[in-house]
Amino acid sequence: MLAPWRGSLRLRLLVATLLALLLALLLSGVLLSGLFREHVMRQFAQALTVQLDQVTTRLAFGSDGRPRIEPQSLSDPRWLRPYSGLYWQIDRVDGAVQHGVLRSRSLWDAVLTPPGDALADGEVHEHELPGPAGATLLLVERTVSASDSPAGAWRLMVAADLAGTRDAVATFNGVLAASLGVLALLLAAAALALGAVGLAPLRALQRALMAVQEGRTPRLQGPVPAEVQALVDDFNRVLDRHSEGVARARTQAGNLAHAIKTPLSVLAQAAEAAHTSAAEAAALPVLVGEQVALARRQVDAHLARARAAATLGLPGSRTAVGPALAGLVRVMDRVHAGRGLDIRSEGIAPALHFAGEQQDLQEMAGNLIDNACKWARHGVRIEARACGAPGASRLQIVVDDDGPGIAAERREAVMARGARLDESVPGSGLGLAIVQELAALYGGQLRLDAAPAGGLRSVLDLPGG
C-alpha cells in the first residue's frame, strides 16, 4: 500500500498539500466559529446590560422600603408577556436572601435563582442558568444600595433566553462549514492543477532522457527549471565522461590492434619463409621471441593506460611515494648490477603521497628510472617533493642521470611512441610515451630538461595525495 506513496512525487505533493489545506481550513473554521460566538455573546450581554440599566433607573422604593417598578415605565413589551424570554427580578441580599421580591410579569410564577457570588456595589456579573420552560438564560446582575430602604442592599438582574443566539451561532457554523467545504474542493482542484503544471517540466525531462536512451541525442537538452538545472548539469557531465571513456576505449582498442598487427605480419611472413629456407627456419625461434616480446610490451602498455583510466578519480586512491621509489631502486640495482651504477633516492618525506594507484606510480617512475640507468655513466639520483598551493598539492618526481643527455630540440621528439635515439641501447621506444600518457590521464605531465651532471633530467608532475 505504501508503494504508490513512495513512487509518485505527484501523489506526495498532492497528499501533503491536501493535508495542509484541511488542517488550515479546520483551524480556520474553529477560530472563526469561536470568534463569531464570542462576538454574538458579547453583543447579547451588552444588550442585557442596557436592559439592566433601564431597570435600575426605573427602580424606586415605597414608604415601606420595598422596591417597586412601574411596568408601564419599561419600553420592551416582552416584560409583560409570560415566558417571553426576557425577564427581570429583584432579590433582597441584605441579611437573609429573599429571591423574587419583585419580578417581571414575564416570569409569571417562576423565580430566578442566580449563584450566590459576592458583588461589589455597581459591579455587573454574567451567568448562564436554567430558566422557565427548560430554557437556558444568560443573566446579568448588579447590586445597588438604597439609603431610604430598611433592607439597604438589593440585587437587580435581567435575563434572556439564549435559544435565538445559539440558533444564530448554529446557522453561522453551518454556512461556515459549507463555505469551507466548497473552498476545500476549489483548493484541492487548484492543488491538482498546480501539481500538473509544476511537474510538467519533469515530463519534459523524462522525454529528454528517453531521447538519450534511444541514441537520438548524446546529452539532456531543453529548458529545465532552475531547481533541477544542477541535476541536469551533473547528469550531462556523467554522460560526457561516459562518452569520453567509450571514445578512449575505442581509440585504445584501435591502437592495440594496430600495434599487434606488425608483429603478427612479421611472424606470418617468417613462417612462410621457414617452409622454403632452412636458414629462415633456424632463425624463426629468435624472431618469434622478439616479436612476442614486442607484442607483450604493447599489450602491457595498453593495459596500464586502461587500468589508470578505470581507477582515475576513485575515492581513497592514495600511494606513499617513499616506499614505492625505494622498491624501484632495489629492483634497478639488481637489473643493472653489472654496470656498478650508484642509484639513490634521497630526502623523500614520509608524508609525501601520490593521489592514484601504486601500480601506476611504479609504472611511470620505473620507466623513468630504467631509462636513466640505461644511459647513465656512473649514477642516477631520484628526488620527490611536494609543491603547489595548500588544498591543491602537487607531486614532483625528479630523475637525474649523468649520461650524454638529449639536445633541447630533440627532447619533444623522443617522447613520441616508438622513438629511439640510439638503437644500440635495448628498448622498444615506448617507455617515455607510456609515462607521458599515464601522467596525462592523472592531469599531470612529463618534462625533460638538462641535469646538473650533464645528463638528462626527467620531471614528472602528478597530483599529490
- Check residue 252 and report its DSSP letter: H
CB 107 within 8 A of CB 132: yes
How do residues 329-374 score in pLDDT, each as one tens digit? Answer: 998 888 888 888 999 987 788 889 998 888 888 888 988 999 899 9
At 206, the pLDDT band (50, 70, 90 cuts) reads: confident
How do residues 228-242 score in pLDDT, each as one tens digit? Answer: 788 888 888 888 877
What amino acid occupies position 163?
Answer: A
The answer, as to whether pTM is greater than 0.75, is no
Highest mean pLDDT among 37-51, 137-151, 299-313: 37-51
What amino acid occupies position 170?
Answer: A
How do residues 95-121 score in pLDDT, each as one tens digit? Answer: 778 888 888 899 988 999 888 777 777
> How many other C-beta atoms can be found within 10 angstroms of the C-beta atom of residue 289?
10
pLDDT at 180 over 80: yes
CB 131 within 8 A of CB 87: yes
Question: Could you give the domains of the chain?
Answer: 61-162 (3.30.450), 226-300 (no CATH), 315-463 (3.30.565.10)
CB 379 within 8 A of CB 344: yes
At 46, the pLDDT band (50, 70, 90 cuts) reads: very high
At 392, the pLDDT band (50, 70, 90 cuts) reads: low
Residue 398 has which C-alpha cell?
A: 625528479
The distance from CA 374 to its chain's CA centroid, rounded to whole angstroms, is: 57
Percent of the chain with pLDDT over 70: 78
Q: What is the pLDDT of residue 226?
A: 77
Q: Is 349 helix (H, G, I), strand (E, B) or coil?
A: coil
What's the whole-number average pLDDT of the chain? 81
> How many other C-beta atoms can be found within 10 angstroms of the C-beta atom of residue 410?
11
E strand or H helix at 296, and its extent? helix 278-311
pLDDT at 419 over 80: no
* Rounded distance between C-alpha atoms, residue 229 and residue 233, angstroms: 6
CA-CA-CA-CA dihedral for 169, 170, 173, 179, to nearest 10: -120
- Check residue 387 and report its DSSP letter: E
